[in-house]
Structure 1
Amino acid sequence: MKIIHYCVSALLLFALAGCERLEQDMLSAPDDTSIDRYGLDTVKLGEKRPEAAKQLQALLDQPMQCKPGKTGLGDKRKAYRLEECTATPTNGTVGKLWDEPLGFFKAVFVEDQLCSLELQLNTSGDYEALYDAHGKKILNLFGKPDEAKATGVLWQRETDEATLKDLGDGKVRLEIRNKQVMQALHHQG
């Protein structure tokens, strides 16, 4: 019971929502081989900017503000196109994801492909209700977690990673990134 409680509090950072249900949800979660790329319901890492931006804009109350630039990747001497897109909060939110208010949004495109997405859900803090509403959906998107701690959950593939962190006060941060590209970024111009 203690292991399951620890796993539940770590997994999705939602309070114990029923040991049997979590175990069943974890067992039915897809394996890495059946997940192509990490992402949200409608947008995945690696998608081209026009389609990804359209899907991401649907989450937001205001238009994304995008700042273009150039960056280097690793030891390559070529400058790559970089674009960081954010949203300005109105009354503390920038939009909604899964019917939960978004307090923060940032998308990074490199060479017109989505490489990173950072979101913060400002929830009620009722983690059991959040698990009921969204737990199985998140497991279906990312599969079985690779690492679960009391403060966060990590999913990893060869090129992608996703983390879900409890920031306290009902704030939950979701980060999805192409780890190879994001680790190779070394300067912006």
Structure 2
Amino acid sequence: MHPHLQPLSLPDAEVYFAPAFVPAPQRDVYLERLLQEVNWQQESIKLFGKLQPMPRLTAWYGDKGYTYSGLENKPQPWLPLLQELRERVQEASGRAYNSVLLNLYRSGQDSMGWHSDNEPELGQEPSIASLSLGGERRFALKHRSRKDIAPVRIILSHGSLLLMQGPTQHHWLHHIPKTAKAVQPRINLTFRYVKG
């Protein structure tokens, strides 16, 4: 485990955070290249029987397809830059990843609702490595069943790495809320291992 990855004290979870995993100025270079090189898509999801555009842009790269929120994602082949970032994250976490879901939050109005990454293809105790580049956003975790545990909020800084593994996805939900503040665009890369 990378020395910058510090454990967070959460029951029923295994979460680590490194606020400055990618050093400056490298993180600026990565951000610019990802904005230009990634094949960003505006997907739609069904909400209450109606197709609605997702409040962010997405892209899926890797060795395996993946379905979430009813969207079947056919993988695009790894870009050299994504391979490089995957190797850095694998080395830090000690885990192997064969896919990455990228989200582009264009402004504070782009968001992600409460969810957990618990799809069957990810296995019993998935390891999700989340790399953030660009504008700072607030990330929150809340326990699924224990109301005595207050939600946990983390500021995902430019170049930070958040690692969620063990039983985390069974017991906790997470989200990125909208913000009225002026924020720079943010790219989030969530590396994962898809079975099958």
Which structure has the greater CA radius of gyration?
A: 1
Structure with greater proportional helix content? 1
Fold match by TM threshold 0.5: no
